[in-house]
Structure 1
Amino acid sequence: MTLTQLSAFVLVARLGSVRAAAQILGVSEPAVSKAITALRHHLGDQLVVREGNAMALTDGGSRLLAIAAQMVSLGAEAEAAVRVGSGAPAQLRLLVNSTIAEFIATPLVEAFTQRWGATIETSSGVAAAAEMRVLLGNRLADVSLGPDLSGGDPLLVSEPVLRCLLVVVADRHARFTGPPHRWPWLVGPSATDPAGEVGRLLTALRVPDSRIHVFPHETAAWAAAAGGNGVAPAISTLVSPQVRRGELRVVPTEVTPFASGWYATTLRPDRRPAAATYLRNFLATPDAMQLMCSPGTGVPPSRFRPPVYVTLWN
């Protein structure tokens, strides 16, 4: 029984999917399945079994989960302690949603690194809200920037960083008839997360899946909207350059502007690594606020490379 096997089990159990666990670990689905199989053989229990489209824990798996999660957390804590003891920079793993990844994450990390690069090694990657909770709670990530994750988890603390408004934009000449749920909606990958601001907006407007077209990133969705193909949700500060240039116009709906915000989530202070506190403090500085409100042209998704968060795999 190894930390690698336990980490695979914890992620499958928490996320309910071998595929999701493999994506987080940065390995193939067969590799995750192999780790689970080895753990089953060692413990003599199926631990987690497929039920329909989801995974369910056996009685033995339910008993193992809390212990395994604690062992994985201790493993991550031990790795961090050894890094510090050997004089290596502390590791800071930042999770963001896809919108922040596209526009904010790279310049934000670069600015933070200019201040702390000698003592803190920072990486960032994309995760949905459910994945963020699992990774933060098991010490497989240190900070998330995105939705409020504090509800229902006493280990996590979410603090507001930036208030923002979600608007709907379209080509300046386009006109749409009928209620918004009948319009063609052009969205980026953030819309696939029901806990994200775009997912909540689409739910509030009762937009069916048949009216939603998902693009690889927000910029592509806005370009399609500027071409007259439909409407696109957007954070007002991020899309404001296109609106000022007349490429897009804001389309009012019954629920927009939709109040939202970005939160920094970490473990509670008594369990929070120092590097996470440094980043949290940096996010409140004028420099960080300027980057989040006016990041410029953003970062093409082709330049964004999510890291492997779990460093226990071998």
Structure 2
Amino acid sequence: MTQLSTFVLVARLGSVTAAARTLNVSESAVSQALGALRAHFGDPLIRRAPGGGMRLTPAGARLLPVASRMVALSADAEAAVRAAQGEPDELRVVAAGTLAEFVLPSLTAAFAERTGRRIDTSFGVATTNAMRALVEHRLADVALGPDLGAVRGGDLVGEPVFRAVLVAVTGARAPRPAGPPSRWTWLVDASGTDPGADAGRLLRRLRVPEARVRVFPHLTAAWDAAAEGAGVAPAVAHLVTPRLRRDELRLLDTPGTPADATWHATVLPPGFRSPATDVFLHFLRTAAATRLMGAPGTGITPSRSRPAVRVTLWP
């Protein structure tokens, strides 16, 4: 099942690198899983395309829908065994970087305290493309972030849960950058390189070239650099408000900001999702959840942070 799950993600995300990042493993681990599956079936299943990316072989194209169903059935089997053994329900939330950094720690903690059910909740970060694949293939239960186009796709269900506003900030005492925004230095977290994320869409609207973008490990670090006058950073207005009040940062008008940045919850249709997912969706509609999403955050505390550790063993 691990090999099939890996194959499905590589096929959906288009690269070994993207699948490894989503699964939180090394690229060699993904390659080994694919190699074992190829040896089992006696077919390459997926090849590098001449123009970049990956291309399924005829056998791989036939395997993909079957493998997707098997991965989903495996998730059902695990849930059934957990229930029979009296173990807590499992809820896996995957989110855009901004929500994982500022909102999800307090949101999932409040959910655990308020629900009357025993639910083990975990969360992680993924690109918008990976979020959709994870939910579709039952590797995650809920995706929180931008609209994933679920209504247009028809196989997922999305609903808005919070209306935010995207702004641009720079150092409180930094002069306005010269020229159009496409010539400014932009300071972003990984979402700035994700074409489906709010920050990524903003940079695309402003036609910012890759050479003008600096990527930081998280948004707090990008804001720190902006406060020091290193450039301009995208920000969610209500999350950056404390730093504006402390006179560390100031708003900077651009042709693309302020802009709507509504957060959506994307799940499987009714009948295909877990009971824990429905409980979490109900919680997201409550006033308590809205207050938590609207309260400025201060990032993940060290006790909640779980940095990824990748180990590769060489023979």
Which TM class, normalised by the smaller chain length?
over 0.9
Counterpart of 1:218, as a letter, is L
Partner of 2:249: 248
The answer as to whether partners of 1:91 and 1:120 remain within 8 angstroms in 2 is: yes
How far apart in 1 are the matches of 2:108 and 2:102?
12
Write out per-residue CA displacement over residues 50-82 of structure 1, whole angstroms, 9 at most, x where no aligned residue.
224311100010011000110111001111111
After TM superposition, give the deviation of residue 221 of structure 1 in Å: 1.0
Secondary structure, counterpart of 2:262 in structure 1? strand
Counterpart of 1:243, as a letter, is L
After TM superposition, give the deviation of residue 213 of structure 1 in Å: 1.0
Q: Does 1:91 align with 2:90?
A: yes
The answer as to whether partners of 1:161 and 1:283 remain within 8 angstroms in 2 is: yes
Could you list the runs of 5+ residues in structure 2 that have no partner in the other structure? 310-315
After TM superposition, give the deviation of residue 151 of structure 1 in Å: 5.0
After TM superposition, give the deviation of residue 31 of structure 1 in Å: 2.4
Partner of 1:68: 67
Partner of 2:42: 44
Write out per-residue CA displacement over residues 255-304 of structure 1, whole angstroms, 9 at most, x where no aligned residue.
21011110000001121211111111111212211111114322258843
Q: Does 1:195 align with 2:196?
A: yes
Partner of 2:13: 15
Partner of 1:312: none
Identical pairs, percent: 54
Secondary structure, counterpart of 2:81 in structure 1? helix
Partner of 2:168: 168
Write out per-residue CA displacement over residues 155-209 of structure 1, whole angstroms, 9 at most, x where no aligned residue.
2111000111111111222222211111111112211211000001111111111
The answer as to whether partners of 1:94 and 1:145 remain within 8 angstroms in 2 is: yes
Q: Does 1:6 align with 2:7?
A: no
Q: CA separation of 1:240/1:158 partners in 2, compared to 1, >3 Å: closer, same or farther?
A: same
Could you list the runs of 5+ residues in structure 1 that have no partner in the other structure? 309-314
The answer as to whether partners of 1:102 and 1:300 remain within 8 angstroms in 2 is: no
How far apart in 2 are the matches of 1:139 and 1:161?
21
After TM superposition, give the deviation of residue 307 of structure 1 in Å: 8.3
Counterpart of 2:270, as a letter, is P
After TM superposition, give the deviation of residue 20 of structure 1 in Å: 2.1
The answer as to whether partners of 1:107 and 1:295 remain within 8 angstroms in 2 is: no
Q: CA separation of 1:100/1:164 partners in 2, compared to 1, >3 Å: closer, same or farther?
A: same
The answer as to whether partners of 2:158 and 2:264 remain within 8 angstroms in 1 is: yes
The answer as to whether partners of 2:111 and 2:283 remain within 8 angstroms in 1 is: yes
Aligned pairs (5 A) from 1:1-314: 3-52=1-50, 53-116=52-115, 118-149=117-148, 150-175=150-175, 176-300=177-301, 303-305=304-306
How far apart in 1 are the matches of 2:200 and 2:88?
37
How far apart in 1 are the matches of 2:215 and 2:194?
12
How far apart in 2 are the matches of 1:17 and 1:301?
32
Count of matched residue positions in the alignment of Structure 1 and Structure 2: 306
How far apart in 1 are the matches of 2:288 and 2:261?
21
Counterpart of 1:291, as a letter, is L
The worse-fitting range, judged by mean Cα deviation, of 102-111 and 169-178 is: 169-178
The answer as to whether partners of 2:94 and 2:143 remain within 8 angstroms in 1 is: yes
The worse-fitting range, judged by mean Cα deviation, of 79-88 and 146-155 is: 146-155
After TM superposition, give the deviation of residue 105 of structure 1 in Å: 1.0
How far apart in 2 are the matches of 1:86 and 1:203?
50
Write out per-residue CA displacement over residues 209-235 of structure 1, whole angstroms, 9 at most, x where no aligned residue.
111111111111111111111111100
Q: CA separation of 1:151/1:305 partners in 2, compared to 1, >3 Å: closer, same or farther?
A: farther
The worse-fitting range, judged by mean Cα deviation, of 297-306 and 165-174 is: 297-306
Write out per-residue CA displacement over residues 91-139 of structure 1, whole angstroms, 9 at most, x where no aligned residue.
0000011111110111111111112375111000001111111110011
Secondary structure, counterpart of 2:264 in structure 1? strand
The answer as to whether partners of 1:168 and 1:256 remain within 8 angstroms in 2 is: yes
Secondary structure, counterpart of 2:75 in structure 1? helix
The worse-fitting range, judged by mean Cα deviation, of 142-151 and 93-102 is: 142-151
The worse-fitting range, judged by mean Cα deviation, of 10-19 and 121-130 is: 10-19
The answer as to whether partners of 2:103 and 2:297 remain within 8 angstroms in 1 is: no
How far apart in 2 are the matches of 1:302 and 1:255?
37
How far apart in 1 are the matches of 2:18 and 2:182?
30
How far apart in 1 are the matches of 2:44 and 2:225?
48
The answer as to whether partners of 2:192 and 2:200 remain within 8 angstroms in 1 is: yes
